Amino acid sequence: MIICFYDNSEIKDEPIINIDRVYCLEFDKFTNDSWDRLAEIYSLLPSQIIKNHIGQPCWFGEEGKTDFFLWASVEPSGLQIVGTLRSGDWNEWEGKFNKYIAVLPFFEC
């Protein structure tokens, strides 16, 4: 399966990178099982933030509180992923994320 996405800003090959990527998930086709699967995927990714025993759609740290952070937001165009990470952390996170989300509905590329 092709994982469709686009970048709102170029991800440069540097030790520390800024991410603003949208994965073209088609939320109109999500079922309750799809939403549950997305929440499960969040929990399988490295360094998920937990608050009050509930996993959040953010990893590594919180924006404005730490140097390195990553968060996800459901948008009409897809799942937006934004953050600042070390390139190695991003590569690990993105590799796992791409493997897991392939089962969810995407817009055609």
- The 10s digit of each residue's pLDDT in 48-79 is 999 888 889 999 999 999 999 999 999 999 99
Report the pLDDT value the prediction gives residue 82, as an integer from 0 to 100.
97
Q: Name residue 28's amino acid.
A: D
The parent domain of residue 28 ranges over 5-101
Number of domains in the chain: 1
Report the pLDDT value the prediction gives residue 2, as an integer from 0 to 100.
79
Q: What are phi and psi of 29, to 5 degrees?
A: -95, 0
In a domain? residue 48: yes
User: Which residues, in sequence order, are CB contacts of 37 under 8 Å at separation 6+?
Assistant: 103, 104
In a domain? residue 109: no
Find the mean pLDDT for residues 24-31: 96
C-alpha to C-alpha distance for 37 and 63, rounded to whole angstroms: 25
The neighbour count for residue 45, using CB atoms within 10 Å, is 19
pLDDT band at 1 (very low <50, low <70, confident <90, very high): low
Nearest residue to 70 via CA among 93, 92, 53: 93
